[in-house]
Amino acid sequence: MAAPPLRFESVTKRFSDFDAVKDVSFQLGAGEVIGFLGPNGAGKSTSLRMALGIMSPDEGAAELFGGPPTLSNLRRVGFLPEERGLYKKMSARNVIAYFGQLKGMKRSDALSRADELLESFGLGEFRKTRISRLSKGMAQKVQILSTFVHSPEFLILDEPFSGLDPVNQADLERLIADQNAKGTTILFSTHVMEHAERLCDRLVLIACGRKMFDGTLKEAFATQAHQVRLATVADRDLSADFVDTPFDTRALPPVEGEDDRIWWEISLPQGATSQDVLKRAIDRGIAIEGFEPAEPRLRDVFVSLVSEADEKYGALRHG
Amino acid sequence: MGRAFLVARREYLAYITAWGFWVGLLITPVALSLGMFLPSLIENSQPVRYYSVIESGDSFARELDGYMGERDEDIARDLISQQANFDPTFDPDAALAEFERQLAEGRSTAEALESVVPMGSMALSDDDYIRVPPPARTLEELRPYLSGDLEIDGPIGPRPLYAVFVLDGDDIVYWSEDVVNDTLVNRANLVLERLARIRTFEAENVPLEILDRVRENTPLLLVRSPTAVDQSGEVSFADQAPFFISIGFSFLLWLLIFSVVNYLLTGTIEERSNKIFDSLLTSVSLPQLLTGKLVGVLMLSLTLISIWALIGTGMLIAAGDNIPPDIAEGLRQVVSPNLLVPTLISFLLGYLMFGSIFLALGSLCDTIQEAQSLLSPVIIVMMIPLLLLPVSISNPESPILHAATWVPLLTPFLVIVRVPTEPPLWELIAQIVWMGVFTALIIWAATKVYRAGAVHGAGMNEARAWFMGLFGKKAQA
């Protein structure tokens, strides 16, 4: 069985008395798209820099393709750092080819691949333009292309969407999907949940330097209590009807123009479905004026897990 | 090694294609030439100045005029004697005899010189001080002329009065607004000394011709050295050349190192401020990155040296047989292994030493402005060899120079200037080995700092905290 592109085994990194990353373990399967989520300062960039061998863990091990992150196995990796920049006096073509060469490509191959990438991303006419003369968005595209130039098996993208306008964000989403379709494993960090929802097979969420979640999107949603909204006639006390059930009920503020009915928010415990709520209401003879199952959002999962981490580990992070 | 080569290649191409490099390459020899000829240019470009003498007779004024003439004659005689150095077919004795004959016939110094050395009169001093009759006799009346409020008519039109000598009894007072330039004062002193000698001879009834005979009978002091190139031991330019060339090499080394290490500084600041480090460090190791940068800029400096050497060689070839033999012999010292080998080693180690320091400093700074504050102490150290070069000219065996050669940051520049004094071989080798060891230490420390700056984002605050920590203080936030 092939070694996983990335494996973290009880990785800890401290800066003085500050636990930037604490006992984090996870691993990636080949061909997956993994969202590496966490709030600012959670330890995402530090984790990625350890994955790439830029810095070493104080404890535990970060492995790339089954071994330590050496320049040899880093050739199979493309990396887009969070803080981006290029040599401003080099042309777009040369800068992409330079990074390709550093990853082991022949100069002629790197140059033709750079031309090909620039052409396919609408920057063909700017291939000989200096980076300093490109717009910020174009320069970011050039940097992204320089991470793909050597056709890596594994792409690590640190906050790839930050600083991009919506059009370029959509382009990048397409690019990530295309690369993944070719079999490339992709790990990207973000704190924008919509991108993760659209792109990821799996999520790893860290907060306060600790891993708080590792699983599929479905599993992430399952961590949250599902909710439904149900409307009854205005004088009905729904909480009395659900008092002996595991469902939590809460009356929502009255909606203007709907004086004859009231909306309730009902939280579903693990394993319960909206059908269970409907069944209970019918059994109790409640006249249902309205019913809306509410799908959980990744944002809610994120906020909930981050809050939990803050409560548990916030004070512990400084040793 | 391949990755280090790629980094070196990128660095080299980035600078070699920059117009600033070529401008610097061409300007440096021009600036150096200007520096060499500037003193004589300044001397020759002085404005003509009027001065007056107020005395009861005219003995001082006459002697001063005579001195100016004699001074030119002495310059002319020296020029004729040295002409054989530039033209092996020139007969200095015959030329001197012809020069004296023409002077005796009443021709001017310039005319007599031109007849034996064409264009020779250019070497004579310009008539930059012209004596004019005093426009007034009292200081109060002279004051507006001296201050430039009034001008005085003279051979080249109206001008302010530059200076005036007032002889009152035994006292001579020199008045001028210029309190710095003492050329005229020095000339007057020589004339006064001669006048005093004449008066003393007259008072003792000694004929004045004795003075001329004393001068004629003064034996010529011949300078000889047992190590001179010439078999007779006569000291020529060929013997002095190693000293001049070693000082030239040392200065060029200084100039070269500090021209190119700036590229390392600015390049590293660019990488830090443009956040390129993380992208690079997933493709090259830190030692490869450092090696590549150092080698790339080293190649740049070798290009610089090669082009300067080509220009120099071209000029020498163009000069061809016109180069006097002892100057040609002196220039051969440039390629002497005794000087060339220590120079090359010093260049390499000096470049690595200062290059690593500049790389490390650059990795801590986001802007050139930030770098300035860190660079100040390094620049002060860098200036010390320049201050010591004049000492090496006047006293190459100076104990201070000797001691300073053992200071590793100065060794690359000073070890070269000591080579012509032929220090013991063990000393030379020990200094080079010490320089090598120190360079290795600097590279080791610079790698640590570079890692802190490039990988961990350490910056000015951390540098300040570390520095304060040396003195047991905590840095202010």
* Per-residue pLDDT tens digits for B259-291: 888 888 888 888 888 778 888 888 898 889 999
* Residues A29, A174 within the same domain: yes
Instruction: Please check whether residue A305 lies inside any domain of the structure.
Output: no
pLDDT tens digits for range A37-75: 988 888 998 999 899 988 889 999 999 999 999 988 999
* Residues A152, A174 within the same domain: yes
Ranges of each domain in chain B: 2-32+235-470, 48-217
Which residues of A are less than 8 Å from B14 in CB distance? Answer: 87, 89-90
Instruction: Please check whether residue A164 lies inside any domain of the structure.
Output: yes
Q: Is the pLDDT of residue B475 over 50?
A: no
Q: Is the pLDDT of residue A110 over 90?
A: yes
Lowest mean pLDDT among B229-238, B275-284, B412-421, B439-448: B229-238
Considering only CB atoms, A81 lies closest to which of B18, B270, B278, namely: B278
* Residues A194, A270 within the same domain: no
Q: How far apart, in Å, are the Cα atoms of A173 and each of A78, A262, B289, B436?
A: 16, 41, 33, 54
B25 touches chain A (CB under 8 A): no
By DSSP bridging, strand A202-207 and strand A33-37 are: parallel
pLDDT tens digits for range A237-271: 888 888 888 888 888 888 878 888 899 988 888 77
Cross-chain Cβ contact A53/B274 below 8 Å: no
Pair B241, B286: CB distance under 8 Å: no
Restricting to B residues 434-473, those with a Cβ less than 8 Å away from any Cβ of A are 455-456
Instruction: Please check whether residue A130 lies inside any domain of the structure.
Output: yes
Q: Is the pLDDT of residue B10 over 80?
A: yes
Cross-chain Cβ contact A88/B282 below 8 Å: no
Min Cα separation B276/chain A (Å): 5
Instruction: Please check whether residue A316 lies inside any domain of the structure.
Output: no
* Residues A61, A198 within the same domain: yes
Min Cα separation B266/chain A (Å): 12
Which residues of A are less than 8 Å from B10 in CB distance? Answer: 87, 90, 98
Confidence label for B171 from pLDDT (cuts 50, 70 and 90): confident
A86 touches chain B (CB under 8 A): yes
B85/B234 Cα distance (integer angstroms): 14
Q: How many C-beta atoms surround the C-beta of residue A143 within 10 A?
A: 23
Instruction: Please check whether residue A304 lies inside any domain of the structure.
Output: no
Task: Give the residue from A44, A71, A111, A189 with the most B CB atoms within 10 Å of its CB, the best one to mutate.
Answer: A71
* Residues A234, A283 within the same domain: yes
Instruction: Please check whether residue A313 lies inside any domain of the structure.
Output: no
pLDDT tens digits for range A168-215: 888 888 888 999 999 999 999 987 888 888 888 899 999 999 999 999
* Residues A233, A94 within the same domain: no
Instruction: Please check whether residue A99 lies inside any domain of the structure.
Output: yes
Return the percentage of chain A with pLDDT > 90, whole number. Answer: 39
pLDDT tens digits for range B370-390: 888 888 888 888 888 888 888
pTM of the model: 0.74
Cross-chain Cβ contact B14/A86 below 8 Å: no
Which residues of A are less than 8 Å from B276 in CB distance? Answer: 85-87
Confidence label for A1 from pLDDT (cuts 50, 70 and 90): low
Choose the final residue of a domain: A218, A248, A281: A218
* Residues A67, A179 within the same domain: yes
Instruction: Please check whether residue A302 lies inside any domain of the structure.
Output: no
Confidence label for B40 from pLDDT (cuts 50, 70 and 90): low
Considering only CB atoms, B283 lies closest to which of A49, A89, A102, namely: A102
Which segments of chain A does DSSP mark as H helices, in order? 44-51, 71-74, 92-102, 107-120, 136-148, 166-181, 193-199, 217-222, 238-241, 274-283, 298-313
Cross-chain Cβ contact B281/A86 below 8 Å: no
Q: How many C-beta atoms surround the C-beta of residue B125 within 10 A?
A: 12
* Residues A214, A238 within the same domain: no
Domain hosting A277: range is: 225-294
CATH code of the domain in which A82 resides:
3.40.50.300
Cross-chain Cβ contact B3/A49 below 8 Å: no
Number of domains chain A contains = 2
B162/B49 Cα distance (integer angstroms): 6
Burial B33-64 (b: 16+ CB within 10 A, else e): eeeeeeeeeeeeeeeebbbbbbeeeeebbebb
* Residues A146, A174 within the same domain: yes
Name which of A230, A227, A121, A83 is nearest B281 in CA terms. Answer: A83
Looking at chain A, which residue has its C-alpha nearest residue B276? A85
B371/B362 Cα distance (integer angstroms): 7
The answer to ipTM > 0.90 is no
B278 touches chain A (CB under 8 A): yes
Pair B3, B290: CB distance under 8 Å: no
Name which of B113, B32, B70, B15 is nearest B311 in CA terms. Answer: B32
Q: How far apart, in Å, are the Cα atoms of A76 and each of A26, A30, A147?
A: 20, 12, 11
B292/A308 Cα distance (integer angstroms): 48
The three-state (H, E, C) secondary structure of chain B, written as one string: CHHHHHHHHHHHHHHHCCHHHHHHHHHHHHHHHHHHHHHHHHHHCCCCEEEEEECCCCHHHHHHHHHHHHHHHHHHHHHHHHHHHHCCCCCHHHHHHHHHHHHHCCCCHHHHHHHHCCCHHHHCCCCCEEECCCCCCCHHHHHHHHCCCCCECCCCCCECEEEEEEEECCEEEEEECCCCCCHHHHHHHHHHHHHHHHHHHHHCCCCCHHHHHHHHHCCCCCCECCCCCCCCCECCHHHHHHHHHHHHHHHHHHHHHHHHHHHHHHHHHHHHHCCCHHHHHCCCCHHHHHHHHHHHHHHHHHHHHHHHHHHHHHHHHHHHHHCCHHHHHHHHHHHCHHHHHHHHHHHHHHHHHHHHHHHHHHHCCCCHHHHHHHHHHHHHHHHHHHHHHHHHHHCCCCHHHHHHCCCCCCHHHHHHHHHHHCCCHHHHHHHHHHHHHHHHHHHHHHHHHHHHHHCCCCCHHHHHHHHHHHCCCCCCC
Residue range B345-353: mean pLDDT, rounded: 91
